[in-house]
Structure 1
Amino acid sequence: MSAAPLRVAFDATHARINRTGIGRYAQQLLPALAARDDVDVVGLLAPGTGATGRAQHLLGVARRDFAYYPAGLAHRARAARADVIHCPTSSPAHSAKPPLVMTVHDLLWLRMPQHFTPAVRAYHRMSVPAVRAAGRILADSDATRADVIELLGVPEERVVTAPLAADPRFAPREADRDLLRARFGIERRYVLAVATREPRKNLNALLDAFERLAARVDDCDLVLVGGKGWSSAELERTLEATDDRVKVCGFVSEDELVALYAGATCFAFPSLAEGFGLPVLEAMACGTPVVSSNTTSMPEVTGDAALLVDPTDVEALAAALERLMTEPVLANGLARRGLERAATFSWERCAAETVAAYRQLV
């Protein structure tokens, strides 16, 4: 006889408010859990989620971090008769009953604090006691799991790796050159980068590498996707001074992003450090050859399906991009291996690892 389904109170707040990797994680994991017959998922939202206007937004943040997570989430989970709470990102959430599972996407603010503002570090620090007290911690990668154990002193048996996956819409397709031309002004071959414009993403190094690449390869552009982050003033000034071979697209829709992956000659991800590196997996799932950093979780995600370089070595980055621009046999081989590698990650697998952690705890 099969065990009764677990009733899971899932904090869906960040699935609603966050457009970056944390929000995408929650958006993809929720339906993967809901598709299973061994869990019954109840989605919970912090009060004020989706509020418009600066004053309402600030009030919502205060209520979320100083009332909902410390007490309200557990209260509402008990009212829903949940067996377990899942908070899909580090937060000041506390609960002994029902027990709490928390996902930690990275501890890079501790590993390399110089790349984060004091406010960001303070915000994350507020969550540390709750993370340490959680009954189970899910980590996106073995690299993040090791950081949780080392930097927070959490016993290793309480930390479980549950790798992420790409949305199924990230898949090979024919490049829509008309859309790329009309929507983004892209006429030539291009290197694609997807990242928030903040210091850790190392986009200044990518711009320097592209300048070297453009001197060697005539018919190529650099296309940047992603919004502004903190401490990006210097980068923004540099971008304003670049010519039309560097195209800054900002946030784009999911369908536009798939089209950009499909049309790219190669994908560049020179980040200094990542908890997982979801854009790399998305690019591989689309059949786009990848140049990535050789640090933290990136080798774990790419396996042998990408060119890995030291992200601080601008010439190595430029040379790797040049190889993918000028060596079609290499590029095609990496694209094929990337598809095979991406297929080993799935949200069904992530959900299975997540439910196993629920059951271990309950």
Structure 2
Amino acid sequence: MLINALHAKTGGGVTHLRAVLPYLAKDPRLEIHIVMHQSQLLRFEPLDEGIHPHLVSFRESYFRTLWWEQVRLPLMAWRLGARVTFSPANFGPIFAPRPVIMLRNALAVGRRDWRPRRWVYWSVLTLMTMASLLRARRAIAVSDYARRALSFGLARQRIAVVPHGVDPAYSPPPAGAARGDFLLAVGDIYVQKNYLMLIEALVIARQTHPDLTLKIAGANVGDEYPGQVSDAIKRHGLGDAIELLGSVDRDRLVALYRDCALLVFPSTAETFGHPLVEAMASGTPIASSNQAAMPEILGDAGIYFDPLDPRDMAAAIGKIINDRELAARLGIAARERAKRYSWEKAARDTADILVAAGS
């Protein structure tokens, strides 16, 4: 099997591959080769024994990666004798042997982005997703929402839902430990994460809770949207109330989930939402957007709001910080629901699908 990791550069794509690779490497049915750009290797080291890396080097850009993936990668797969080519992204090399793709990148945000370069990007992504889905032997969706939203009505019988898991490191704080009083948001800073609306909600919430603060853990993606976020913080005079932490490692993220008053998840377009299950496993109360896959993943273990209505978002935040009993109940419900999500099970189900596709 050849794993096409060229698109696993940030966020959930890296989280997923790092989590399932150790389990896949132990499966005696699989001989694993993985192709990635040499700049990606540090994100995945150390690779488990039995995984054969193939590092490629070209000047990175979206369309150069696309060309390499569609032209050079199939030749590599055929040369290696791969029975299956697995692309854990919406699309992969169309002419590679027995392609399997993973439907995990939300396309809905592209319908609201009319900047010329971004419109081209989202249009190509949509077309490649459709073409790859038509060609794929099997497809994996990370949620039922992803299966419905990204199937285009095509070949649904070949799409299996395999939810992602959660790292065991995410666990509740010690019994009796007091939580902090800050809000936490987790996710890289780009448009569908909806941080501008979260800032507006914080302004409203601080009218009744003037000491309320927010920490955002996530790397800047591009320049335009992170710049808008920084401008909004300055415009509202929130420089002392909002802390942009940038990308944080797992240990610090574990501590943040345990210490915060609640996680606020304002995203408008998610097919899964790793911060949700990480916070759930940590027993963290959650106020979440009611759109996309969030209700499917979180269930009744959170308080929901309209992510396009800052007053509704502020009201959801207020419900939790004003009611300690509610916060405690939400934390208990979140921990229980988190038991549904296991990387070991996700890897086992993925391996079964890959083996079936290769037979």
TM-score, length-scaled by structure 1: 0.84
**Equivalent residue in structure 1 for 2:308, among 308, 312, 316:** 312
Distance 1:31 1:113, change over 3 A: farther
Deviation at 1:345, TM superposition (A): 0.5
Q: Distance in 2 between matches of 1:50 and 1:106?
A: 22
Q: For residues 187-220 of structure 1, give each alpha carbon's deviation from its aligned partner in whole angstroms, at most 9, with x where no partner exists.
A: 9610000122222211122111111222212443
Distance 1:113 1:226, change over 3 A: same
What is residue 73 of structure 2 aligned with on the other side? 73
What is residue 98 of structure 2 aligned with on the other side? 99
SS at match of 2:206: helix
What is residue 339 of structure 2 aligned with on the other side? 343
**1:324 maps onto 2:315 in alignment:** no
Q: Distance in 1 between matches of 2:337 and 2:94?
A: 37
Deviation at 1:316, TM superposition (A): 1.8
SS at match of 1:74: helix
- 1:108–1:275 CA contact under 8 A, matched in 2: no
Matches within 5 A, 1:1-362: 8-15=1-8, 18-46=9-37, 59-61=59-61, 63-67=64-68, 69-95=69-95, 98-109=97-108, 112-114=111-113, 117-125=118-126, 127-128=128-129, 129-150=131-152, 153-174=153-174, 189-230=181-222, 231-232=224-225, 233-241=227-235, 242-362=238-358
Question: RMSD of the alignment, in Å?
Answer: 2.7
Q: Distance in 2 between matches of 1:48 and 1:322?
A: 43
What is residue 46 of structure 2 aligned with on the other side? none
Q: Distance in 2 between matches of 1:324 and 1:49?
A: 40
SS at match of 2:86: strand
Q: Distance in 2 between matches of 1:319 and 1:331?
A: 14
- 2:185–2:216 CA contact under 8 A, matched in 1: yes
SS at match of 2:198: helix
SS at match of 2:95: coil
SS at match of 1:94: coil
Q: Unaligned stretches of 5+ in structure 2? A: 43-55
- 1:109–1:121 CA contact under 8 A, matched in 2: no
- 2:100–2:354 CA contact under 8 A, matched in 1: yes
Q: Does 204-213 or 87-96 show the bigger shift?
A: 87-96
Distance 1:206 1:123, change over 3 A: same
Distance 1:146 1:244, change over 3 A: same
SS at match of 1:275: coil
Distance 1:111 1:155, change over 3 A: farther
Q: For residues 70-111 of structure 1, give each alpha carbon's deviation from its aligned partner in whole angstroms, at most 9, with x where no partner exists.
A: 133233233333221111113451235x30101121342476
Q: Unaligned stretches of 5+ in structure 1? A: 1-7, 178-186
Q: Distance in 2 between matches of 1:125 and 1:361?
A: 24
The aligned length equals 335
SS at match of 1:279: helix
Q: For residues 155-209 of structure 1, give each alpha carbon's deviation from its aligned partner in whole angstroms, at most 9, with x where no partner exists.
A: 111211111112222222359x9xxxxxxxxx96100001222222111221111
Deviation at 1:46, TM superposition (A): 4.3
Q: Distance in 1 between matches of 2:110 and 2:352?
A: 29
SS at match of 2:215: strand
Q: Distance in 2 between matches of 1:267 and 1:216?
A: 19
SS at match of 1:360: helix
Q: Distance in 2 between matches of 1:24 and 1:221?
A: 28
Distance 1:216 1:353, change over 3 A: same
Q: Does 187-196 or 217-226 show the bigger shift?
A: 187-196
- 2:262–2:287 CA contact under 8 A, matched in 1: yes
Deviation at 1:323, TM superposition (A): 1.7
Distance 1:188 1:334, change over 3 A: closer
- 2:180–2:260 CA contact under 8 A, matched in 1: no
Deviation at 1:58, TM superposition (A): 6.7
SS at match of 2:66: helix
Percent identity, aligned pairs only, is 27
TM-score, length-scaled by structure 2: 0.84
